[in-house]
Every structure is written in structure tokens, then in C-alpha cells.
Amino acid sequence: MTTTAHGAPRLKTSAMIASFADPGQRTAPAPFGHALAELAEQDERIVGLTADLGKYTDLHVFAERHPGRYFQMGMAEQLLFGAAAGMAQAGLVPFATTYSVFAARRAYDFICLDIAEPELNVNIIGGLPGLTTGYGPSHQATEDVAIFRGMPNLTIVDPCDAVDIAQAVPQLAAAPGPTYLRLLRGKVPSVLDEYDYSFELGKAKVLRGGRDVVLVSSGLMTMRALQAAEALAAHHVDAAVVHTPTLKPFDEETVLRELAGDRLAVTLENHTVVGGLFETVASALVRRGEARRVVPIGLPDQFLDAGALPTLHHRYGLSHDRIVERVLAELG
Amino acid sequence: MRAEVAAGRREAVEAAAYRIRQHALAMGEVQGQGYVGQALGAADILAAVYADQLTYRAEDPAWDGRDRFLLSTGHYAIGLYAAFAEAGIVPVDELETYGSDGSRLPMSGMSTYTPGMEISGGSLGHGLAIAVGLALGLRARGNAARVLNFLSDGELDEGSTWEAAMGAAHHGLGRLTAVVDINALQADGPTAGVLRTEPVAEKWAACGWHVERVDGNDVGALLAAFDAIAARAEGHGAADGDGHGAPSVILCDTRVGRGVQLLEEREKAHFMRIEEHEWAVCREQLAVGYAGAAAEQAGEKVSP
Ligand SMILES: Cc1ncc(C[n+]2csc(CCOP(=O)(O)OP(=O)(O)O)c2C)c(N)n1
Ligand SMILES: [Mg+2]
């Protein structure tokens, strides 16, 4: 094992697919794959497609249970989404998987014109959203939401955990138009079942109340926000957490209601601060004529380093201790 | 009939390939898993390129007169770092930082991190398009450097590869060579089951390329293919003095894990896990295999 100058073990990038779960955290295996396989038992229109990433997006679980409804398209993302459009036109409900970067960057034109414009029921499943791999810019989808938010008709879901994913899958299929899911795969943490919560497409939910701070978050940052809120309590800071898994259309009503007072407002997203949750919240506020400060916690507007995921989450301020630090600093 | 490659030249490349494999195993062991199978499979290609074919200055990787080697397939960086060490571009000692925090040698090859790395290639299917532009640009500037692009068979799935293939032929890029590692493997399993790309040679030929197809783990055959391309470039073929002519591709059929029996025989995996106790076995098998092959060749020489 390599060591640093101080003799401490140097963290490794190891796998492209690194875990962001905390040691000992409760997890569920392949929640997307299981939910889709389950749904397909009841709805014969469901099909699964991938671009040489079936094993890496949990679609292999679906493939094993429904081999006749699984389509391997090869590492050809334009074909993947063009063909998904065609299948939807033929009356099927496709779930098409690849990594977020390849959906958002390489296949954008095909998703935009073949799927979103005709409002087809194609469900785009993007693995490795935001900073969930230490592999470097080729696989870090730091701007996927920014890219997709500009696409009319597209519903965007950023789930927090296995609970969100399992409950979202049938709702994505039921939604008539196209959707994009920021997939968490492998052993995915289960967090939200500890709260009085259920996923509802298009709805934000208050997970916990708090007098001093309101943390508005989506995706895995909701897990971090909940941890930060616990830790802040030890500093006698009472923090609320509002989870907004649907980023578009955005539940302005719930979020703006929560931002109405004078609590410190913070957005937390696993995404660049450009074009994601922070700007969604900020524009909603401005549109209603409400001027207030919002602290953005998110990735910087730059290409990120390669490295071990925990190192990078800490470096870029997504770890819960960095969140606590930031909130305390803002409170002064 | 093509000319036999001289034994001394072939043996020098085989020795380089052996060291590249040793380096790759050492790097793989640091991570405990990863793209070791690919690096071992491509070691003979990388050795032929860096120990025999490429013109470069190890101490000045940005020298304008250098031939350009573009690694499109970012995850093969482990193999290329090993070749860089063999070529003296990166110190051997540095290899143990592979894939670790703060290293110049990230898992996926990036030009912003590593001297000698021409492009950042992790999003597959970019290399050949950049190679086309580089070849066009160098030719326009009167620079006679060659451009080589290394691709994996998975990259043949991407439409962008074929756009670039047609573009290269259209522009007559006679100094451009694509080297494709056909290891018959992709992320979800064997290439034949993911997206059938055969007949590959016919596809490149139909795009207007000169095609060589060789056993990519046979150094003699690899060198002969490079020689055949060089001969064309010198006027026996289509390329003229300005570098106009048909681009060339060498299709290399390789074996994942080549040189280490344990890995050659294991179920092929894109991202291979190797247990802690197996690394010593791997190193041993590599050394024994190399010594055995050398002895066999020596025996051939003396036998009547
Ligand atoms: C555009 C793009 N799509 C998908 C991927 C994810 N991916 C990484 S390697 C790989 C397999 C590609 O085939 P190949 O390079 O032949 O794999 P190997 O021989 O190394 O197993 C895939 C699909 C990628 N890196 N780039
Ligand atoms: Mg391959």
C-alpha cells in the first residue's frame, strides 16, 4: 500500500464506482433494478435498454428476471436513446440506462428532439450523477441537471436513497412524458424510511423542522443534510431539512413557504452551483419578488479532480462535517 | 510475402513488453483490482509502439517533432503508464501512486495530469476524431509527425468512431494509423453479445482505410504490420510526400490477461478483481512464462 509522507495510507480511487455510504450504514442492493423488475410484472409495456452498462446501472437485475424485455444496445448512446424513442412510439415504456454524463452530453440531441419534443414516455436513467465517482471529468456529471433543466417537457428526479428510488420507479413509468432519474446504484443507503415520508413526483417534503436554519436539498445531499442537522443540534443549532427530489417541475409552493421566515437558508446539491437546485430556488424567489440571501452548497464551477470519493467530497464541501462548518460560519 | 522481422529487434520489443507487464501488475496490486487484464493484453502493442515505432524525446514530451500517440481508451492508462516508465517519460518509482490521491497517474488517462499523455480519453469514442484534426493540422503546418490512435473494440460501437474513420479517408490522412485492441470484451461481457462489430476488417476497408489484421500478442506480426504501413507511406502505397494517402488501421486480436495464466484462464471481466494472495502467483507466472518463451526461441535457433 502506498503511503503519504506522514506514513498514513494514501486513499485510492479504487473503483470507478465508489460508495458514498457511510461505514455501517443501512443499505439496500440495486433498488432500481428490483423496482423495475417488480413493476414489469404488472405492466407488460415496460422494457429495459442499456448501452453496455447494464451491470453498472443495476439493470442486470431486471435482465435476469425479464430477459425477453431487456435490450443491449452496445456502447452507442445515440442509438440507445433514438431506439428508446422508437420503442415508445411503438407503445412500450422504455427505461434506458447509461451514465449521466453520456446521456446528458453525448446523447442530448437525441433525447431532446426524439423524446422530449414529442413528449414520449421514455425514462432516462443516469448513473454516477454529480460527484459520485473519483474517476475524473469524463465520468463526473457535475452539470447534468444544468444541461437537462433547459429541456422542455422533461421531468427531473434526484433521489436521496433506496426508498426514494423504489417509490419513484412506478411513478416515473406512470408519468406520461419523459423523465430523467439521477440513479444511485449498487448498495444504496436507506435513510428516508426513518422519517414520516413517501416519494411523490413533483412534491417537496419537510423531513424535519428547525428554528434556526432551513436546509433545502436533493439527492444524496439530503442524506448529508440530515446528518448535518443532527450534528448541528450538538452546537445548539436547530436545522430544518426540506427534501426536493423532483427538480423539475419544482415544488415552489412548499419551498417558498419554508423560506418565508428569517431562518438561514441553505441549498445543498450534488451538482455544480450553476444551473441546479440553488438557481432553481433563487429564481423562484426572485419571480415572487422575494429578496433574501441563500447560501449555496454545491460543487464549484470547475472541472473536478480525480481521486478517492471521500477525499473529493471533503475537498469540495459535500461531506457532512464541511456542511456543519459552513453553516456555523454563516451563523457567525 | 512480407519480410521477416529481425530476431534482435523482435526480442527487444518482447523484453519491453515483459517489463510493461511487470509494471502493470505492480500498479494493479496497489489498487487490488482494475484494468490489469487490458494492460496485459495490450502490452505487446504498447511495447511495439514505444520501443520500436514512435519518435519522441523522453525528457521533452512536448517536443513538436514527436509522433503523437493518442490513448482514446482512458481506462487503459495503466498500460500506457507502464509504457511511459519503460520509455523513460515517467519514473518507475512513480508508478506506485497509480490511481491514488494526488497522483499524476489517475485511473483514466488525462492529458492535464501526465506528461506524454496527449488527450483525455475516458469518454470513449473521442480519440479518432481528435486524431483526424491533429493529422490535418500537422500536415497543414508541414510537420511530418505521425499520428497514432489507440482504440478498444468497444469504441467501435460509437458512431463518432465511424464518422472520424470516414473523415480520415476523405481527407487522405496517410500519416494517421489507428490501432484497435480487439480483446473481444466490453463492460457488460463479450463483445459478440454486446454489439456485434465483425466483420471489422471489411468495415474499415469500406471506409477507405488500408487494413492489417494481426495477432496482437505476436510481436513479430505487429512489427511486420507497422513495417508494411511504413512501406506504403514511403511511396510503395498510396501516401505521397505530403502525407496524402489512405489512413491505416492495425486490428490487433489480443487476449485479456496475456502472459499470466491465472488471468488468461479466469472468466473475462472488464473490471477484474484479484485477491491479495494471487498477486504473487501472477508475478511468478509472468516471469516463468517469459523465461520459458525465451528459452523456446533460443532452442529454435540452435535446432537444425
Ligand atoms: C462514451 C462512453 N460510454 C460508456 C462508457 C463506459 N464504459 C467504460 S469502458 C466500457 C467498455 C468499452 O469497451 P472496451 O473498451 O472494449 O472494454 P474492455 O475491453 O476494456 O473491457 C464502457 C461501456 C464510456 N467510458 N464512454
Ligand atoms: Mg474490449
Structure confidence by residue, pLDDT tens digits, A238-260 = 999 999 999 999 999 999 999 99
Residue B6 is predicted with a pLDDT of 94
A316, B48, B127 from B145: Cα distances, Å = 41, 17, 17
For the Cβ of B127 lying below 6 angstroms from any atom of ligand 1, the answer is: no
Instruction: Write the pLDDT tens digit of every residue in A26-54.
Output: 999 999 999 999 999 999 999 999 999 99
A222, B3, B49 from B232: Cα distances, Å = 61, 14, 18
Residue B165 is predicted with a pLDDT of 98
Among residues of chain B, what percentage have pLDDT more than 90?
86
Burial B245-281 (b: 16+ CB within 10 A, else e): bbbbbbbbbbbbbbbbbebbebebbbbbebeeebbee
B155–A contact, CB cutoff 8 A? yes
Cell of A14: 479504487
Q: Is A150 a residue whose pLDDT tops 90?
A: yes
Q: Is A321 a residue whose pLDDT tops 90?
A: yes
Mean per-residue pLDDT, A149-165: 98
Instruction: Write the pLDDT tens digit of every residue in A187-227.
Output: 999 999 999 999 999 999 999 999 999 999 999 999 999 99
| Contact predicate A9/A1, CB 8 Å | yes
Helix (H) or strand (E) holding A244: none
Residues on chain B touching A139 (C-beta within 8 angstroms)? 108, 122-123
**Closest CA in chain B for residue A59:** B188
Burial A172-185 (b: 16+ CB within 10 A, else e): bbebebbbbbbbbb
* Pocket probe mutation, ligand 1, options B72, B110, B200, B270, max atoms within 8 Å of Cβ: B270
A3, A267, A272, B67, B256 from A144: Cα distances, Å = 35, 17, 9, 36, 34
Mean per-residue pLDDT, A92-118: 98
Domains by residue range for chain B, with CATH: 7-297 (3.40.50.970)
Residue A114 is predicted with a pLDDT of 98
Q: Work out the minimum CA distance from A170 to partner chain B, whole angstroms.
A: 26
| Interface mutation vs chain B, best among A4, A6, A13, most B CBs within 10 Å | A13
* Across A139-143, A197-201, B232-236, least confident range: B232-236
Encoded amino acid at B128, one letter? L
Residues 6+ apart with CB under 8 A from A17: A56, A128, A133, A185, A186
Residues on chain A touching B161 (C-beta within 8 angstroms)? none
Residues on chain A touching B124 (C-beta within 8 angstroms)? 75
Q: Which residue has the cell 436547530?
A: A238
DSSP lists the bridge partners of residue B148 as: B69, B177
CB contact under 8 A, B123 and A55: no
| Contact predicate A224/A323, CB 8 Å | yes
* Residue A12 DSSP symbol: B
The beta-carbon neighbor of B188 closest among A55, A79, A308 is A55
Nearest CA to ligand 1 atom 16: B154
B143–A contact, CB cutoff 8 A? no
DSSP lists the bridge partners of residue A180 as: A124, A156
Residue A8 is predicted with a pLDDT of 54
Query: Which residue, among A229, A219, A314, has the nearest Cα to A263 in the 3D structure?
Result: A229
Residue A1 is predicted with a pLDDT of 41
Compute the mean pLDDT over every residue in chain A, rounded to the nearest whole number: 95
β-strand pairing of A205-208 with A239-243:
antiparallel
Residue A19 is predicted with a pLDDT of 82
Residue B34 is predicted with a pLDDT of 84
Instruction: Write the pLDDT tens digit of every residue in B131-143.
Output: 999 999 999 999 9
A291 versus B23: the higher-pLDDT residue is: B23
User: Which residues are near ligand 2, the ion (C-beta closer than 5 Å)?
Assistant: B 152-154, 183, 185
For the Cβ of B125 lying below 6 angstroms from any atom of ligand 1, the answer is: yes
| Contact predicate B41/B150, CB 8 Å | no
**Where residue B304 falls among pLDDT bands split at 50, 70, 90?**
very low
What is the interface pTM, i.e. ipTM, of the complex?
0.95
**Where residue B234 falls among pLDDT bands split at 50, 70, 90?**
low
Mean per-residue pLDDT, B181-209: 97
B8–A contact, CB cutoff 8 A? no
For the Cβ of A193 lying below 6 angstroms from any atom of ligand 1, the answer is: no
**Closest CA in chain A for residue B159:** A76
Q: Is A166 a residue whose pLDDT tops 60?
A: yes
Residue A151 is predicted with a pLDDT of 98
Nearest CA to ligand 1 atom 9: B187
Residue B277 is predicted with a pLDDT of 94
| Contact predicate B154/B187, CB 8 Å | yes
Residue A126 is predicted with a pLDDT of 98
Mean per-residue pLDDT, A279-302: 97
Q: Is B236 a residue whose pLDDT tops 60?
A: no
| Contact predicate B87/B79, CB 8 Å | no
CB contact under 8 A, A50 and B188: yes
Mean per-residue pLDDT, A106-132: 98
Residue A10 is predicted with a pLDDT of 59
Residues 6+ apart with CB under 8 A from B162: B203, B207
